[in-house]
Amino acid sequence: MKISGKTKITGLFGYPVEHSLSPAMHNAAFEVIGLDYRYVAFPVHPNFLKEAVGAIRALNLAGVNVTIPHKEKVITFLDEIDKEASIIGAVNTIVNSEGVLKGYNTDGRGFMQSLFECGISVEGKDVLIVGAGGASRALSYYLCKEAKKVYLYDIEKNKASKLVEDFDNIFGNIFTLENISNIDKFNILINATPLGLREEDPLPLDTTMLRQDQIVCDLIYKNTPLLKEAAKKGCLILNGLGMLLWQGVFAFELWTGVTPPVDIMRDALYKNV
């Protein structure tokens, strides 16, 4: 993979980013279709987010993905926000168009496409999302369009309340929970917290009450302790690899105007997971 002064750079802003599979996924696609682009993971400490966003313009990067913990705070430093991302209140993709930085959100579409691929429908279902950060906002926006009801729980109750407040006037079927002791009443359960990145992390919810007809999703792209316990209960499980793939596909299109080779990106993910 040759790099020259003409090579366009894309990347990832997050903290941490060492575990990210996005460089392998995007660089495999760039190489196969012969695009002179490269993707780099940049560890951006929260104290330097403003400077990092300014560097997109200063260094003429083509654009970047944005991940934990920057998806909401980055909005302040952008020139324009896509309408959907503005409603969601979080950005995971930035495009640099001749110095104008515009934010988009491809997380929600990516998650819904991953469900579709697995034959999972949320229509008429009751859904629980644990965690009310940027990814949760994107999921909630799409899930509320199809699900019967969407419930939010976060240990920081004000975050969940703010999310519900923002979406309630649009959808009217989203609610906060004070606790998640009765998880058996939900059809689909989603972990949108970082719990599970490390093996020593506590479970984000009590798995003893899971039923075998429930669907358990984890946005973390590995077989987390939550998913292992849910599998033991006979639940249908889904990790975050599908969402990672499809949000990346949509981001790729925004940066390049080209439809990427999805199978190549998928293969790169599974080889590096």
Q: What angle do CA 239, 243, 244 make, to 5 degrees?
A: 95
> Annotated catalytic, 162?
no
- 16 exposure class (CB count in 10 Å sphere: 0-12, 13-18, 19+): middle
Q: Which of 81, 38, 46 is nearest to 67 (CA)?
A: 46
36 CB neighbour count, 10 Å cutoff: 12
Question: Which one from 71, 102, 149, 159 is the annotated catalytic residue?
Answer: 71
For residue 46, give every residue at least 6 positions away whose Cβ sits within 8 Å of its Cβ, in sequence order, or none.
Answer: 15, 69, 70, 73
Q: Is 143 within 8 Å of 127 (Cβ atoms)?
A: yes
Measured distance CA(22)–CA(40) in Å, rounded:
9
Which residues are known catalytic residues?
Answer: 71
